[in-house]
Amino acid sequence: MEPSVVYEDDQILVINKPSGMVSNKSQTIQEDTVQDWFSRKYNIVESPDSEFLQKQGLVHRLDRDTSGAMVLAKTEEAYNGLKQQFLERKTVKKYLALVHGEFKEQSGLITATIERHPKDRHKFTVGGDLAKASITEWIVLQQFTDMTLLELIPHTGRTHQLRVHLQHINHPIVSDPIYGFQKRIKDDLAISPRLFLHAKYLEFQHPSTAFRVHFDVDLPEELQQVLATCTLK
């Protein structure tokens, strides 16, 4: 398992991360990660002397089970420029998600705050910490019987934000093992063998040229097949 390259120049690399691959290294992760793959590919040796070398080019992350567009930095200059854009929310990210239920409206905003779950440190939940304000925009793309294909635009970058927000409005993502309907997970996996969440679009200012650039990554074949089996409303 390894990413496919969408775009590359002397400053950045844009990849299509496969579902099932972890973005960043940690002491609890044994398998190969995007960070491992990238550091091998460009011989970027981890070092505490600079944040770029410590992160080995990793500017942002996608959840293990989420596929799609990621940008990595090949130089310290690119890393610092991209990191600042993510911190200042100057990037644009769009996702596709198949969720449970049908929607009465065609679009909307979810503005619930997100914080770490008080009883399970591996999960996040909607809470009352106003410092953790979170905003997700949703747009209905296709309505199926008992399911809906959404475009999701996160305006903040909380961990598991999209998954927690959709659970909060009682429209969890199909085949979500953490935030989905637990009693229906077997039925979900029969519909979609993986979490139906894909980062399809990424836009940012190129750290060298200062021009806005954007990249589209098609829905993976296995998720296209899932949609082909859904019944239109």
Residues annotated as part of the active site: 63
Q: By the 8 A CB rule, do 152 and 161 touch?
A: no
Are the beta carbons of 1 and 20 closer than 8 angstroms?
yes
Tokens of 113: 């705050």
Q: Which of 138, 49, 158 is nearest to 95 (CA)?
A: 138
- Helix, strand, coil percent values for the chain (each to nearest 5): 25, 30, 45
Burial (CB count within 10 angstroms: exposed 0-12, middle 13-18, buried 19+), residue 104: exposed
Residue type (1 letter), 180: G
Beta carbons of 193 and 221 less than 8 angstroms apart: no
Q: How far apart are the first and last CA of the chain?
A: 36
Report residue 71 as tokens.
Answer: 């940008």
Nearest to residue 69, comparing CAs of 41, 36, 91?
Answer: 91
Least Cα distance to 155 among 114, 195, 194 occurs for: 114
